[in-house]
Amino acid sequence: MEYFRNHEEYLRPYWQTTKIVDESIMPVRFKQEEGKKLPDIDFDTADGFSIQLMHDIGRVISVRTATHDVTFEEGIDYKVIDGRLVIPDGSRIKILRQDEYILDHDNGFACTEGGWLNFGESNCFHKLQYSVSYEAASNSFDGKYRPEVSPRLEGSRRLLDSGKLKLAFYGDSITYGCNASGLSSGLPPYMPIYPLLAAEALRGRGYKVDYYNPSIGGMSSIWGRDRAAYYFDDFKPDLVMIAFGMNDGSGRLPVDMFIENTRSIIYTVRASKPDAEFVLCATTLPNRLAKGFYGLQEEYEQPLSELADAEGCAFLDMTELHRILLSRKAYHHMTGNNINHPSDFLARLYAQGLLAQLGAEGSR
């Protein structure tokens, strides 16, 4: 497997840069049926199938398969009309039919609108997606939430500037890195899982970082609470990003229990490392079409922010960042498994947010 070398381009914050690299799309043509709530952001026009991206397009740099093995031609495979990407008839870019996205046979994950959602782990959806790089003509984050340098991470910044930062990540399958193109055997562009993407970027900027990530797929804050001493008593991290909530929310864990579990993790780490700092991360969201998965995730957001204030922790609101993207892009354009895992494009937003809060520019 090739080594990923595109850290800085991938880590330009979406809310700051006008150059967007490898934004993921997966064109799906839905039939708008009365009484069914199906994505309608993308639609057919006289010029072709029109897709809205995170920002309005000013100029396309490239449109490629997500695996980077095919590059498409403007004017033949795609056009830009009114800031949107339009796929004309005859394009080599495949538009999935609704019956390829919502199946008529049991695939393990029922759809809220009937049938079963197409689902796949590993690189299944990566192989169905395309990557668009472009100069943006607008910024969808204007006037909205943007992660900023946190005054609650001053100790971590001092360590980066003068010594070595012991950086830990603790969460579920998203933080484990499921569906990242660089996980396991992987496929191009071989993007590392987001925690490693952030750690490698810091090293590339001249900082010394000791990286640790004991996250495991399928876990909730209950597991995180119960295993915190086992994982952190010896490592004694300087900074921990705690990122549970996806599985808690789908399992309808009461909000107060989720908050107390998170508080317990903080206290357990502090017992062996009193000056440890924390980033509490509100989770991205599951697919609303995945029956039973959209639960209490959004209800954890504000109480988690309040816990961060009470305990002197930084707060990264990935729930809100994902909502901003979902106001522009349908869920399937940025998913790794079509249920609850992010594509590279969405996963790297976690790393962008963390680095923004650290304010670690280094020697770039």
Q: In the predicted model, what is the mean pLDDT of residues 78-105? A: 97
pLDDT at 364: 41
The secondary structure element, H or E, covering residue 352 is helix 344-358
CA–CA separation, 223 and 230 (whole Å): 11
What average pLDDT does this structure show over 293-297?
96
> Mean pLDDT, to the nearest integer, of 293-322?
98
Residues 6+ apart with CB under 8 A from 305: 280, 282, 315, 317
**Mean pLDDT lowest for which of 23-37, 85-99, 340-354?**
23-37
- Separation of alpha carbons 141 and 136, rounded Å: 12
How far apart are alpha carbons 345 and 90 in whole angstroms? 27
CB-based contact 286:246 (threshold 8 Å): yes
Residue 224 burial (C-beta neighbours within 10 Å; 0-12, 13-18, 19+)? buried
At residue 108, the pLDDT reads: 83
Average pLDDT score over the chain: 96
The structure's pTM equals 0.96
User: For 159-216, how does the pLDDT look when each residue is reduced to its tens digit (9 = 90+)?
Assistant: 999 999 999 999 999 999 999 999 866 899 999 999 999 999 999 999 999 999 999 9
Give the residue, 106 or 107, on which the prediction is more confident. 106
pLDDT band at 93 (very low <50, low <70, confident <90, very high): very high
Cα gap 174→334, rounded to integer Å:
13
Tell me the Cα Rg of the chain: 20
Give the pLDDT confidence score for residue 88 in this predicted structure. Answer: 99
Query: What pLDDT is attached to residue 130?
Result: 98
* Domain-wise residue ranges, the chain: 7-136, 151-358
Note the residue count of the chain. 364
Query: What pLDDT score does 34 carry?
Result: 75
In CATH terms, 151-358 corresponds, of 2.40.30.10, 3.90.79.10, 3.40.50.1110, 3.30.450.20, to 3.40.50.1110
- pLDDT tens for residues 9-42? 999 999 999 999 999 999 999 998 877 889 999 9
> Which amino acid makes up residue 334?
M
> Cα-flanking dihedrals φ and ψ of residue 26, to 5°?
-140, 95
